[in-house]
Amino acid sequence: MRERSFANRAPKKDDKYNVNEDITAREVRVIGVDGAQLGVLTTVDAIKMAEELGVDVVEVAPEANPPVCRLLDYGKLKYKEQKKAAETRKRSAQQAVKELRVRYSTDEHDLDTKVRAARKFLEGGDRVRFQMRFRGREVVYQNLGRDIFDEIVKRHEDIGTVDERSPLIGQRMILSFAPKSHK
């Protein structure tokens, strides 16, 4: 096996585990490299055994009585944890919110184009927000704006759910969709 130097390893404050000389307990329950229990040993004996095998003594359950330690390669453990954390971050990527603007006077063809774009975004897993802004005296045509939003909701019933539908706030109305989960 390879020769391992334990003197090179400086303890870090952010370490999740106590390793080798960082273990403060006098006696520890040791689990071998293969997962078999080796019994309760003094910390010094456990470290000597680990040096012979070319691995580290890692305290995995410090709250137990006596604390439980495993004989394993600490570098591999840290590497696997980093990979798992990276995979978790990758999977929990934030959904993007795509915003489309429509007007109460948007023509049918233009509305079809916006709806097609929104469907594409929803199929891609993104959220979609439609925004309708009224300028000046156009506020009196709120009912036409609501009709446009009703039409948009009808066209997206199969692929998305209405996440938010705000009434007129200031000069704007907002309609948000979230993609339906396909289970």
> Where among 89, 113, 129 does a domain terminate?
89
pLDDT per position as a tens digit, 65-113: 888 988 888 888 889 989 998 888 777 666 678 899 998 888 889 989 9
Host domain of residue 64: 18-89
**Does 6 reside within a domain?**
no
Do 112 and 146 belong together in one domain? yes
pLDDT per position as a tens digit, 8-25: 555 455 567 888 888 888
Q: What is the largest CA-CA distance in the chain?
A: 85
pLDDT of residue 183: 42
User: Could you give the number of structural domains in the chain?
Assistant: 2
* Mean pLDDT value of segment 167-174: 86
Strand 68-72 relative to strand 27-31, pairing: parallel
Q: Looking at the chain, how many residues does it have?
A: 183
pLDDT of residue 101: 92
> Where among 39, 64, 89 does a domain terminate?
89
pLDDT of residue 129: 92
- Which of these, 79, 96, 97, 75, lies nearest to 87 by C-alpha position? 79
Strand 68-72 relative to strand 56-61, pairing: antiparallel
**Does 168 reside within a domain?**
yes
pLDDT of residue 113: 92
Do 69 and 130 belong together in one domain? no
Do 79 and 133 belong together in one domain? no
> Where among 89, 124, 142 does a domain terminate?
89
**Does 2 reside within a domain?**
no
The enclosing domain of 29 has a CATH number of 3.10.20.80
**Does 107 reside within a domain?**
yes
* Mean pLDDT value of segment 125-150: 88
* Mean pLDDT value of segment 176-181: 84
Q: Give the pTM.
A: 0.49
